[in-house]
Amino acid sequence: MTVAGAKRSDRLLKVLSGYQHVLVLTHDNPDPDAIASGWAIVAMVREKTSLPVRFVAGGAIFRAENRRMVELLEPPLELVDQIEVPEGTATVLVDASPQAVNHLLGDASLPTAVIDHHQHEGRRPRVPFCDIRPKVVASATIAAHYLREQHMDPGPALATALTYAIRTDATGLRGFSAADHRAMRWLSLRADHQKLTDIENAPLQPDYYADLLLAMQNTFVYDDAALCFLPRAGGSEIIAEVADLLIRHRDLTRVMVGGVVGGDLLVSVRAKAGSGDASDLVAKSLKGLGHGGGHRQRAGGKVSNIARGERVSEDLQSELRNRWLGVCGVDAQRGSRLVPKREILENL
């Protein structure tokens, strides 16, 4: 039974106290927010209970900054191919939705607890503990407030991870909420700002520049909307990174970027404030093909098992192009390249 006025972190710890083990998990190919917020939950469970706790995710970490973050800060994250949940284990899903299939639990069973900042379709999950706050920019904000409620010092490494998570998830969003501001003020006094600088300036592999060039050449503009199908994608991070870059274009208000990773088509959608809801745009574009969701300005989705190679088929490209233009309210038309190849050659 929930006690009125009880701190959310106390309620979470009370729920977990009824189990013998705790498994904290987040979405596949975890980003800074997933890593930092999951790490904070692990730290709280370790300090406030005697329960054994693990932190796991599937997939890999691709983006240079994210790899640098893990290298410098050493979060207690295990990347595994699959998990077994022993009897008596509480599962805490962080920065992900139970309805999604981009985490190791899949849709096979509901977790014990959900901590997230994304907009969720339909009713909230009926689980023993649920803390979903779409108005904050990052799950790390929620986790930081748990630590403050429990009077815990995160230490420099965790504080740095939480700070970087909030910074990166704020990219392209409308702005910080009051809760985000409070979390950042508290964390900034404890973070290692030299390591933050090192993470933000992580060295890039030579292939990154080739991927970026191909992305720019394969981006087509339709009025104020853009669509890009990457010829190759080493991982989900390059898809999101290209979307983040394109939405900064002065004349673009909505962007969809897609690429094939492991036989699935992954897409990232961005929308400037006042230009529509990105989570709604991606959900409508993928309806009947896959699923998607996220925030008003940043969202993503997946169409499963569509290819064996690296490229999206012409038929699927055409279908998604028509759907994207339709949900953006743009008349069907021939797109123009963002960077025509002739311009590249003329400027050599």
Q: Facing residues of 225 across strands?
A: 222, 254
Question: What CA–CA distance (Å, rounded) separates 230 from 181?
Answer: 36
Helix (H) or strand (E) holding 275: none
In the prediction, which pLDDT does 345 show? 55
For the chain, the domains span 8-199, 206-343
| Mean pLDDT value of segment 86-96 | 95
| Mean pLDDT value of segment 195-222 | 91
| Mean pLDDT value of segment 122-130 | 84
Predicted confidence (pLDDT) per residue in 309-343, tens digit: 667 788 899 999 999 999 999 987 788 999 876 66
In the prediction, which pLDDT does 141 show? 98
CB atoms within 10 A of CB 306: 15
- CB-CB contact of 309 with 263 (8 Å): no
- What residues contact 340, with CB distance under 8 A and at least 6 apart? none
| Mean pLDDT value of segment 165-172 | 83
- What residues contact 173, with CB distance under 8 A and at least 6 apart? 137, 295, 296, 297, 298
Predicted confidence (pLDDT) per residue in 76-87, tens digit: 999 999 999 999
User: Distance from CA of residue 42 to its chain's centroid?
Assistant: 19
Predicted confidence (pLDDT) per residue in 221-279, tens digit: 999 999 999 988 877 778 989 999 999 999 999 999 999 888 889 899 999 988 888 88
| Mean pLDDT value of segment 46-54 | 97
Residue type for position 90: A
In the prediction, which pLDDT does 105 show? 87
3-state secondary structure (DSSP) of residue 115:
strand
The yes/no answer on whether domain 206-343 falls in CATH 3.20.20.70 is no
3-state secondary structure (DSSP) of residue 264:
strand
Of the pLDDT bands very low, low, confident and very high (cuts 50, 70, 90), residue 347 is low
| 153 pLDDT more than 80 | yes
- 3-state DSSP of 84-107: CCCCCEEEEEECCCCCCCCECCCC
| Mean pLDDT value of segment 172-201 | 91
pTM for the complete prediction? 0.82
- CB-CB contact of 138 with 37 (8 Å): yes
Residue of 31, 147, 145, 52 whose CA lies nearest to 95: 31
Q: Which residue has the higher pLDDT, 302 or 199?
A: 199
Question: What CA–CA distance (Å, rounded) separates 169 from 21?
Answer: 30
Pairing between β-strand 89-94 and β-strand 113-116 as defined by DSSP bridges: parallel
Residue of 102, 336, 90, 55 whose CA lies nearest to 220: 336
In the prediction, which pLDDT does 107 show? 66
Exposure on the CB side of residue 268, measured as CA atoms within 13 A: 22
- CB-CB contact of 254 with 225 (8 Å): yes
Give me the CATH code for the 8-199 domain, please.
3.90.1640.10
Predicted confidence (pLDDT) per residue in 17-36, tens digit: 999 999 999 998 899 999 99
In the prediction, which pLDDT does 3 show? 47
